């Protein structure tokens, strides 16, 4: 039996019939078997939210590392390979180390039912517990209250990024219900940094924080952030900071940067560390300009961009970013999962895109067909056609518009496929 990380991950997929089954019982059982690695972590920063979790985490990490701190980080899903999910003291986990913790978790779990995300999250916690670092960044997978990451009794700080409608079948169909799930990461007495929220969501978060005596550091109340003359201005009770704009593109990244800065200031990091959070953060497939690789070569003189956002809020943010770029015909290559609000995602993009080429996401059971995606795009007001592959779509676009802007979008899973194909 092969013991590469990929082989063990394949075996882990078979341990539970559902990909998502929200409960913490199985996680607690395995953690107990492994002598509770979650109790042996460096101070934890726990991040939930619908949009901006990954970008906010990337900026917090850049700030901590800019301040000389060593940081573990856990994020999901991965794009090109699983190892991206686990960073140990600033470095992506090695194949040998990943194989070791996966094998240990798989063996300790035995034949008992456990989801892929649950057992791989436990593997990350096990890895973190064995390597020294100053901080641990944990990004929630789905929701918060019953997410496999929600096993830390006393984090250093929790963070809730902007909440919007997504994953309704698991989290509920109103902002209040979704906010209740996200607010499940709030812990008694632990400060919680809160990004900009709809009123319906902030009401729920404030109620949960009050119930648990958790001090809130909320946007619009305890901190403010805005762009002014090409600079980012952050204000809290300690005063004003004048910083470079975030390296991550988009007006929505100003808000994510604000949450990251609120965390860094709470932790006592200096202005140089806060500047590093703005200038050094890297987060792939978030309005990323691809510079090298076979797909870039195929695009020729056309610009090739990649974004993994997949809900209506992400569609709005993406449209806003595109409006700030130099005017140029923009063609979308889009693939989406059948669990998403496809028309809601595409509608804001209809105002900024010339055409949309629909593709299926390779290797994803839950992908929409190219035909279904194109149909949804037309409903959203886009001129849409179908393509067999991303490469075929690029070739079709550049045949008629050789200097266009091409944006591949709609899914992190599609983004991962593109990064692998372009490597």
The pLDDT score that the predictor gives to residue 16 is 83
The pLDDT score that the predictor gives to residue 204 is 97
- Name the DSSP class of 337: B
pLDDT by residue for the chain (423 residues), tens digit each?
A: 567 999 999 999 989 877 667 789 999 999 999 999 999 999 999 999 998 999 999 999 999 999 999 999 999 999 999 999 999 999 999 999 999 999 999 999 999 999 999 999 999 999 999 999 999 999 999 999 999 999 999 999 999 999 987 655 566 679 999 999 999 999 999 999 999 999 999 999 999 999 999 999 999 999 999 999 999 999 999 999 999 999 999 889 999 999 999 999 999 999 999 999 999 999 999 999 999 999 999 999 999 999 999 999 899 999 999 999 999 999 999 999 999 999 999 999 999 999 999 999 999 999 999 999 999 999 999 999 999 999 999 999 999 999 999 999 999 999 999 999 999
Q: Which helix (H) or strand (E) holds 255?
A: helix 252-266
CATH architecture, domain 288-421:
Alpha-Beta Complex (3.90)
> Which residue's entry shows tokens 């632990």?
190
What is the 3-state secondary structure of 156-168?
A: CEEEECCCCCCCH
The pLDDT score that the predictor gives to residue 170 is 61
Q: Exposed (0-12), middle (13-18) or buried (19+): which is 233, by Cβ within 10 Å?
A: middle
- In the chain, how long is the greatest CA-to-CA distance? 61
Query: Under CATH, which number does the domain 5-279 receive?
Result: 3.40.1190.10
The pLDDT score that the predictor gives to residue 22 is 76
Question: Domain limits of the chain?
Answer: 5-279, 288-421
Strand order in the sheet with 216-218: 91-92, 86-88, 71-74, 135-139, 44-48, 157-160, 192-194, 216-218
CB 71 within 8 A of CB 65: yes
3 state DSSP class of 391 = helix
- Residue 353, phi-psi category: left (phi > 0), alpha (psi -120 to 50), beta (remainder): beta
* Alpha-carbon 182 to chain mean position: 14
3 state DSSP class of 135 = strand
Q: What is the Cα–Cα distance from 408 to 397, expressed in whole angstroms?
A: 12
Q: Is the dihedral of CA 315, 320, 322, 328 positive or negative?
A: positive
Q: What is the Cα–Cα distance from 397 to 341, expressed in whole angstroms?
A: 26
Q: What is the Cα–Cα distance from 38 to 122, expressed in whole angstroms?
A: 8
Q: What is the Cα–Cα distance from 394 to 332, expressed in whole angstroms?
A: 10
Phi/psi for 283 (5° steps) reads -145, 100
Beta strand 355-358 with 44-48 is unpaired
The pLDDT score that the predictor gives to residue 23 is 86
Q: Which residues contact 150 (CB under 8 A, 6 or more apart)?
A: 24, 46, 140, 144, 184, 185
């Amino acid at each position: 039996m092969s013991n590469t990380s990929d082989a063990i991950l394949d075996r882990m997929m078979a341990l539970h019939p559902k990909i998502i089954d929200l409960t913490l019982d199985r996680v607690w059982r395995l953690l107990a078997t492994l002598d509770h690695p979650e109790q042996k972590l460096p101070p934890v920063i726990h991040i939930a939210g619908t949009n901006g979790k990954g970008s906010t985490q990337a900026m917090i990490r850049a700030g901590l590392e800019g301040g000389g701190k060593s940081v573990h980080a856990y994020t999901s899903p991965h794009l090109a390979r699983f190892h991206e999910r686990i960073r140990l003291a600033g470095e992506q986990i090695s194949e040998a180390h990943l194989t070791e913790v996966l094998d240990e978790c798989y063996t300790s779990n035995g034949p008992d039912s456990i989801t892929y995300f649950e057992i791989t999250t436990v593997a990350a916690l096990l890895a973190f517990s064995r390597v020294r670092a100053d901080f641990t960044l944990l990004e929630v997978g789905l929701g918060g209250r019953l997410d496999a990451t929600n096993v830390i009794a006393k984090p250093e700080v929790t963070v809730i990024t902007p909440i919007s409608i997504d994953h309704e079948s698991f989290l509920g169909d109103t902002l209040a219900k979704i906010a209740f799930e996200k607010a499940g990461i709030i812990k008694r007495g632990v400060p919680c940094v809160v990004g900009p929220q709809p009123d319906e969501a902030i009401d729920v978060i404030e109620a949960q924080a009050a119930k648990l005596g958790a001090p809130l550091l909320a946007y619009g109340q305890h901190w403010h952030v805005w762009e002014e003359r090409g600079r980012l201005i952050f204000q809290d009770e300690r005063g004003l900071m004048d910083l470079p704009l975030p390296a991550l593109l988009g007006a929505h990244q100003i808000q994510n940067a604000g949450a990251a800065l609120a965390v860094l200031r709470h932790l006592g990091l200096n202005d140089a560390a806060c500047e590093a959070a703005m200038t050094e953060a890297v987060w792939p497939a978030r309005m990323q300009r691809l510079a090298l690789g076979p797909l870039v070569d195929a695009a020729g003189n056309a610009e090739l961009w990649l974004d993994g956002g997949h809900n209506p809020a992400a569609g709005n943010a993406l449209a806003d970013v595109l409006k700030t770029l130099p005017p140029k015909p923009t063609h979308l290559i889009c693939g989406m999962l059948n669990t998403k609000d496809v028309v809601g995602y595409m509608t804001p993009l209809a105002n900024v895109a010339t055409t949309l080429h629909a593709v299926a996401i390779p290797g994803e059971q839950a992908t929409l067909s190219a035909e279904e995606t194109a149909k949804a795009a037309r409903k959203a007001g886009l001129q849409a056609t179908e393509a067999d592959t991303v490469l075929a779509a690029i070739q079709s676009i550049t045949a008629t518009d050789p200097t266009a802007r091409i944006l591949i979008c709609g899914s992190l899973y599609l983004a991962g496929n593109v990064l692998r194909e372009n490597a």
